[in-house]
Amino acid sequence: MKKLILLLFPLIISAQTHRFVYQFHYKLDSTATELAAENMILDVNPDDVKFYPYSYAETDSLNIIRDQRVSRWDDHLPALVRKKNSFENTSLILMNDFFSLKSTDKMNWKLLNDTKVEGQYTLQKATTTFGGRNWIAWFSKDVNLSEGPYKFRGLPGLIFEIEDDKNNFMFKLSKSMKLPKTYEAKFLESFAGKKPLPVTEKIIAKKQLELYNDPLQDIAEAFKSNTNPETTFYVSSVQIKSLDQLKGMSDERRKAMLRENNPIEIDKAIKYPVN
The pLDDT value recorded for residue 245 is 87
Residue limits of CATH 2.50.20 in the chain: 2-188
| Better pLDDT: 227 or 24 | 24
**132-to-168, 264, 269 alpha-carbon distances in Å:** 13, 9, 10
- Paired sense of beta strands 110-118 and 121-130, if any: antiparallel
What value does the CA radius of gyration of the chain take, rounded to a whole number of Å? 21
User: Residue 100, Cβ neighbours under 10 Å: how many?
Assistant: 17
Segment holding 62, helix H or strand E: helix 54-66
The pLDDT value recorded for residue 165 is 98
The pLDDT value recorded for residue 15 is 54
* CA-based torsion, 267, 36, 184, 181: positive or negative: positive
The pLDDT value recorded for residue 66 is 81
The pLDDT value recorded for residue 197 is 97
pLDDT tops 90 at residue 5: no
The per-residue pLDDT for range 161-173, each reduced to its tens digit, is 999 999 999 999 9
CATH number of 2-188: 2.50.20
Q: Which residues contact 77 (CB under 8 A, 6 or more apart)?
A: 24, 38, 40, 52, 53
Question: How much is the pTM?
Answer: 0.90
**What distance in Å separates the CA atoms of residue 238 and residue 148, rounded to the nearest whole number?**
41
> What is the chain's mean pLDDT, rounded?
90
pLDDT tops 50 at residue 6: no
**What distance in Å separates the CA atoms of residue 75 and residue 55, rounded to the nearest whole number?**
13
pLDDT tops 80 at residue 144: yes
The pLDDT value recorded for residue 14 is 53
**What is the DSSP secondary-structure string of 142-187?**
TS-----STT---SSSEEEEEEETTSSEEEEEEEEEEESS----GG
Strand-pairing partners, residue 51, are 42, 80
